[in-house]
Amino acid sequence: MTTLEPRLLKGFRDSLPALAAARQQLIDSVRKVYERYGFLPLETPALEYVDVLGKYLPESDTPEGGIFALRNADGEWVALRYDLTAPLSRVAASYPDLPIPFRRYQIAPVWRMEKPGPGRFCEFYQMDFDTVGVPSVIADAEACCLISDALEELGIGQGEYLVRVSSRKILGGILEATGVAYAEPGAELSPQALTALRAVDKLDRIGRSGVLALLGKGRLDESGDFTPGAELEPSQIETVDRYLQLPRTSRTEFCERLDTLVGGSELGQAGVQELREIDAFLAAAGYSEDRVAFDSTIVRGLGYYTGPVYEATLMFEIRDEKGEAKQFGSVFGGGRYDNLVQRFTGKKIPATGASIGVDRLLDALRVLGRLPDRVATAPVLVTVMDPDHLSDYQAAAAELRQAGINAELYIGAGRFGRQLKYGDQTGKTVAVIIGGDERENDEVALKDLRQGRELSQGIEDRKEWLASQPAQITVARTDLVARVREILDRYAT
């Protein structure tokens, strides 16, 4: 018999149970926070018309514009969505009866045809929340609060993250003040301004000198590739550089310094005013500078932002594969895009929102040790020592489930030793055992599987305590539920 190789597409991955369960847990936690603020769920198709999606990816110079496209049965070009913002703007333009503000969240995969690399996949989850129809930057300020809350809900404490905020209007105003055209009112960014923005957005990766090169003639990177720059004059570059060097002081002080820097630019002044309103909202809500700060280096890479931009950074270092320290970078980011819906409607419909980097956050939680090592959906395995008495085991599993304790009945063909190993493989906490003796004496044996795993892994802070607990106990059959619950409670956090 010829067999087929079970190939997975390059750049894609399976999420086996441990990863899938951890991601599900993260998604559930964040969803809870989105709903706490009243955001409603929305789902849109994976496939959209290519022109409806538009070309807003920073990577639009990659093969096929970075998207997965195909022709449908009618010969039209359609593609897998590359983000959740383009579909939202189509929805906002399509349904006249939507409540305004339209506040929706969407949690779904998106697809980008990127060059695969370690930790980079062509398919990944986004969790977006957006507010459509609100011109006031209160919506942006609230988004920053929500981002803080979501990270804290995930167990990332204050001081371990920072939400950093700026406004496109400020860098725009500074460019204008130096004589660089930013954008016509209501129109796209000028190419020069867009190149300058993207240069600044690369600060984390290429450093100050790299940014300055990209603001000017261009930059030759280590591999010998030359990236053309924004062609600013030296004096213009100097002004932008002065702006980028602004220290992250208090939000009010930051606004005062900006005020001077943007000079007479209307656009710049509008940006400063935006930040002042955001500051007022944040202060009233009790989100101080150690949670949400203003930061001149935040611009975001996407072309469509028009006002406040914000992103959350994790403030601790991790070691990469080579053991070198590196920053985690941005895990949650967004901004205001007041012109995106206008593509469809012709009239301005303001919008703002943010997107979470699900898998990068998962990595962060793993590094912090705040992800359970392995998540069993059912903490109990009812082993089957004697298949002739299957109904006894069925009854035990049913009784546990009835009591609200998820319990798996072992239905494979393995002998007892293999069954316990299966319990370990699937992360079970307790194995329920009924052999001949137990049956005769109306008893049941309970084995604490987790204890064995933690001891063998040498989990230091629990080791001593664990060693003092009996790993297996025999209890009256009638006490099954109560005694299983006792063991589970030991591990409840």
Contact positions with its own copies (CB under 8 A) in 50-109: 51-52, 63-64, 68-70, 72-74, 78, 80, 89-91, 93-95, 98-101, 103-104, 109
- Residue 459 Cα distances to 358, 454, 464, angstroms: 28, 6, 9
Kindly identify the residues of this chain, within the stretch 267-326, that bind its own copies according to CB under 8 A.
280-281, 284-286
Site for its own copies in 320-349 (CB under 8 A): 342-346
Number of residues that bind its own copies (CB under 8 A): 103
What residues contact residue 449 under an 8 Å CB cut-off, 6+ apart? 381, 420, 423, 424, 428, 429, 430, 431
End-to-end CA distance of the chain: 52
Between residues 20 and 467, which has the closer beta carbon with respect to its own copies?
20
Based on the shown chain and the rule CB under 8 A, indicate whether residue 390 belongs to the binding site for its own copies.
Answer: yes
Q: Residue 140: which H helix or E strand, with range?
A: helix 138-153
Name which of 146 and 312 has its Cβ closer to its own copies: 146
For its own copies, the closer CB: 103 or 169: 103
Among 84, 139, 189, 358, binds its own copies (CB under 8 A): 139
Stretch that binds its own copies, among 189-197, 245-253, 266-274, 421-429 (CB under 8 A): 421-429
Nearest Cα to Cα of residue 255 among 274, 236, 241: 274
Measured from the CB atom, the residue of 183 and 299 that comes closer to its own copies is: 183
- Which residues in the 6-35 window bind its own copies by CB under 8 A? 6-10, 12-17, 19-21, 23-24, 34-35
Stretch that binds its own copies, among 4-12, 299-307, 327-335, 440-448 (CB under 8 A): 4-12
Distance CA 375, CA 388 (A): 31
Q: Any contact of residue 407 with its own copies (CB under 8 A)?
A: yes
Question: What DSSP letter does each residue of 189-243 carry, written as one string?
Answer: BPHHHHHHHHHHHTHHHHHHHHHHHHHTTEEE-TTS-EEE-----HHHHHHHHHH
CA distance 376 to 397: 16
CB 336 within 8 A of CB 140: yes
Residue 403 binding its own copies, by CB under 8 A = no
Sign of the Cα pseudo-torsion (315, 195, 197, 359, in order): negative
**Site for its own copies (CB under 8 A): which residue of 176, 201, 408, 448?**
408
Q: Does 158 bind its own copies (CB under 8 A)?
A: no
The amino acid occupying position 133 is G
- The verdict on 425 binding its own copies (CB under 8 A) reads yes
Closer to its own copies at the Cβ: 344 or 491? Answer: 344
* Cβ 208 to its own copies shortest distance, Å: 35
Pairing assessment for the beta strands 161-167 and 292-294 based on DSSP bridges: parallel
